[in-house]
């Protein structure tokens, strides 16, 4: 049995693979099938990953199907998979989420040399389970998107009462910060302009054609990946104008100084922009999104009673492209999930939503995004210290004073920030198994915990962003824009 599996494993993987396979077989009879051995192997690997705290939270595990993972976008297709081809496409994408997550987890576990073995076992389990006539129905009933709100915490924290104070605080924040978007950006004592160098520029028609071609699959999902993602990311990247008063306002690259470090640091000599492809659903179409993340060393505390300051800070900007190859809507929020703002283009209008009539946080639209000519790009003005987005403007196509290094979060050995090399050897994700960055907690958590969000104010991983304290909203909700905007 082991010999049969080993014939498909490269020679350099054999020693470590033998250890894991031998462990998998320890409690199994010698007549156990290859499927049983694979199931035992993956169970033991998963237990090791859990015990060592190297789990990856970007996509959720699916109970009973250890070779699949789910995110909110793919979960949104439940009930719409009307053909065998659509079901197969959906399952293969769940399989791909697990494959990427397992590579990250095994690298961080120090067992990267069994990635092939585990992946082959996962494929074997999928093939075995798909024989069942109830496989699709059972999987759809089980594969649920995660929810990053804790009802127990809300009950203990008397949420119906405590939300009132938080809602009032949100109103004060709006009154203090949103009017700036209607004024001309103010000059600062010192600003630094960061940008991503643009490569080959494509017309809207060319972008639209690429979107259509990349969506040639049973679910109509645009797969703009690899070099194509980089080309589009460079074309639609914003320019950042950042007021700088301390080193905490410089864009950099997060890293761990050591495995046991209390918090990550930021290399300011390596200004980096992290880009990922995401998707949303809007008026019957699946639209591609370019998600840009930049990181700062900290949000400095302004005094002994500052609730918001702490180690590491980051800002996320998302460009949702229409099928016409042009931006349809923009939005931005901090890596903690805080301060979520929406900027529709002139193609959309903000529609009334139930949150407009009660205490819940409504989708905030400080202004309509400016329309861009082919030689222009959007400018994001960020404040010093808080890194609040304070204004939008337009500039000629210029990457800026400081050129940002492009990193594709979906590819490469580090998978963005999910598997960082350590100086002492080994690898470690920037994010914990709960998706939260260790050491980035804020004092506001002592006040906001009744809102049901884990460690509010801390930096967190894509796929785990709850962006409303009062009410519920997830940054990667595939119907987020459809609920709030219309053509």
Give 168-183 pLDDT, tens digit per residue: 999 999 999 999 998 8
Q: Is 66 in the same domain as 161?
A: no
Which are the contacts of 88, defined by CB distance < 8 A and separation ≥ 6? 218
First vs last C-alpha separation in the chain: 59
Stretch (H or E) spanning 292: strand 285-299
> What's residue 370's pLDDT?
94
> What's residue 15's pLDDT?
47
Task: Report the C-alpha gap between 56 and 64 in whole angstroms.
Answer: 18
Q: Is 259 in the same domain as 349?
A: yes
Question: pTM of the full predicted structure?
Answer: 0.93
Q: Is 123 in the same domain as 176?
A: no
Statement: residue 392 has pLDDT above 60: yes
pLDDT in tens, 208-241: 999 999 999 999 999 999 999 999 999 999 999 9
Domain residues for 132?
Answer: 2-142
Task: Report the C-alpha gap between 123 and 261 in whole angstroms.
Answer: 37
Residue at a domain's end among 142, 172, 189:
142
> What's residue 30's pLDDT?
63
Beta bridge mates, 70: 60
How large is the greatest C-alpha to C-alpha distance in the chain, in angstroms?
76
Q: Is 127 in the same domain as 263?
A: no
What sections of 84-158 are H helices per DSSP? 84-109, 115-129, 135-142, 151-156
Residue 247 DSSP class: G
Q: Is 107 in the same domain as 183?
A: no
What is the pLDDT confidence band of residue 7, given thresholds at 50, 70 and 90?
very low
What is the pLDDT confidence band of residue 283, given thresholds at 50, 70 and 90?
very high
Structural domains counted in the chain: 2
Q: Is 257 in the same domain as 306?
A: yes
pLDDT in tens, 245-276: 999 999 999 999 999 999 999 999 999 999 99
Task: Report the C-alpha gap between 417 and 405 in whole angstroms.
Answer: 14
Task: Report the C-alpha gap between 103 and 76 in whole angstroms.
Answer: 25
Q: Is 60 in the same domain as 91?
A: yes
Statement: residue 16 has pLDDT above 70: no
> What's residue 200's pLDDT?
79
């Amino acid at each position: 049995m082991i010999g049969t599996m080993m014939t498909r494993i490269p020679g350099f993987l054999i020693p470590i693979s033998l250890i894991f396979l031998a462990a998998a077989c320890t409690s199994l009879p010698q007549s156990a099938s290859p499927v049983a051995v694979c199931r035992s192997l993956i169970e033991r690997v998963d237990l090791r990953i859990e015990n060592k705290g190297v789990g990856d939270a970007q996509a959720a595990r699916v109970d009973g199907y250890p070779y699949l993972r789910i995110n909110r976008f793919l979960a949104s297709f439940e009930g719409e998979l009307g053909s065998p081809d659509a079901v197969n496409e959906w399952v293969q994408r769940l399989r791909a989420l697990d494959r990427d997550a397992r590579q990250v987890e095994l690298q961080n576990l120090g067992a990267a040399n069994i990635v092939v073995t585990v992946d082959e076992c996962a494929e074997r389990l999928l093939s075995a389970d798909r024989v069942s006539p109830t496989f699709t129905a059972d999987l759809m009933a089980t594969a649920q998107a995660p929810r990053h709100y804790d009802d127990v915490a809300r009950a203990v924290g008397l949420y119906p009462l405590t939300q009132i104070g938080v809602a009032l605080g949100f109103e004060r924040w709006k009154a203090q910060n949103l009017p700036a978007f209607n004024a001309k950006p103010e000059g600062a004592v010192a600003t630094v302009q960061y940008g991503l160098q643009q490569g080959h520029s494509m017309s809207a028609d060319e972008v639209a054609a690429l979107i259509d071609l990349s969506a040639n699959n049973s679910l109509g999902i645009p797969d703009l990946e690899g070099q194509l993602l980089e080309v589009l990311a460079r074309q639609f990247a914003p320019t950042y104008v950042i007021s700088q008063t301390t080193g905490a306002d410089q864009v950099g690259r997060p890293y761990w100084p050591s495995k046991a470090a209390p918090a990550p640091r930021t290399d300011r000599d390596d200004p980096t922009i992290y880009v990922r492809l995401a998707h949303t659903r809007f008026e019957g179409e699946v639209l591609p999104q370019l998600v840009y993340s930049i990181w700062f060393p900290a949000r400095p505390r302004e005094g002994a009673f500052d609730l918001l300051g702490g180690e590491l800070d980051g800002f996320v900007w998302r460009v949702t492209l229409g099928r016409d190859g042009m931006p349809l809507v923009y939005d931005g929020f901090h890596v903690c999930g805080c301060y979520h703002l929406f900027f529709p283009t002139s193609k959309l209008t903000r529609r009334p939503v139930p949150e407009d009539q009660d205490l819940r946080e409504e989708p905030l639209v400080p202004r309509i995004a400016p329309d861009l000519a082919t030689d222009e790009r959007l400018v994001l003005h960020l404040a010093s210290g808080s890194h609040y987005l304070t204004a939008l403007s337009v500039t000629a196509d210029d990457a800026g004073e400081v050129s940002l290094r492009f990193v594709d979060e979906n590819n490469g050995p580090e998978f963005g920030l999910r598997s960082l090399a350590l100086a002492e050897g080994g690898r470690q994700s920037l994010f914990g198994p709960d998706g939260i960055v260790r050491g980035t907690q804020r004092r506001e958590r002592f006040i906001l915990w009744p809102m049901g969000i884990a460690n509010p104010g801390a930096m967190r991983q894509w796929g785990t962003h709850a962006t409303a304290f009062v009410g519920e909203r997830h940054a990667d909700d595939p119907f987020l824009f459809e609920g709030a905007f219309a053509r």
